[in-house]
Amino acid sequence: EPVSAESEFETCHHTHGKDESAFHAYFVHPLLHCLKTAAFVLVVNFLLRTVIYLVGEDKFNAFLSGAGYLQPVVCALVGLIPNCGASVLLVGVYRTGSLTFGGLAAGLIANAGVGLALLFKHKGGILTALAVVAVMFVTGAAVGGAITAICAAF
């Protein structure tokens, strides 16, 4: 079902009134939403890079290369990090040769970027959001596992 402007405003945490100026409705509120999203992305990027720095890129690469057939499962979990940085990380590890194509596919299939954060923020319910995440994870891990098995056969 398409999202109407009224229902979009209902999911917003600001008060929107019929007498609100066009400037506030179409500039101030979208700007505030943009800044909140940018702050979220910045924090998640910082945390992700801090964890990788503390663990060490070499240890992370070694862990992924040693994961064998569980690599798609691990990569699908990495893909669930609500940030585009997770996909950049996976591609970088793939380029070093520490990650199989199946692992890369699993992580990228499970990745929805910041969309996951918005999914949990929406009023649709936590169970629906968890179901979506579960489907993304299982699909990514299954497809990645299948690709890994096919590549191993050749």
pLDDT digits 0-9 by tens, 2-29 = 555 455 444 555 555 566 788 888 888 8
Q: Residue 48: which pLDDT band, with cuts at 50, 70 and 90?
A: confident
pLDDT at position 14 = 52
CA distance 142 to 95: 22
Q: Give Cβ neighbours of residue 150 (< 8 Å, ≥ 6 apart).
A: 102
pLDDT of amino acid 17: 59
pLDDT for residue 32 is more than 60 = yes
**Segment 107-147, tens digit of pLDDT:** 999 998 888 887 887 777 889 889 999 999 999 999 999 99
pTM: 0.74
Q: What is the pLDDT of residue 116?
A: 83
Structure tokens at 23: 């400037």
Q: What is the mean pLDDT of the chain?
A: 84
How large is the average pLDDT for residues 68-91?
90
Residues 94 and 101 sit within 8 Å (Cβ to Cβ) = yes
74 pLDDT exceeds 80?
yes
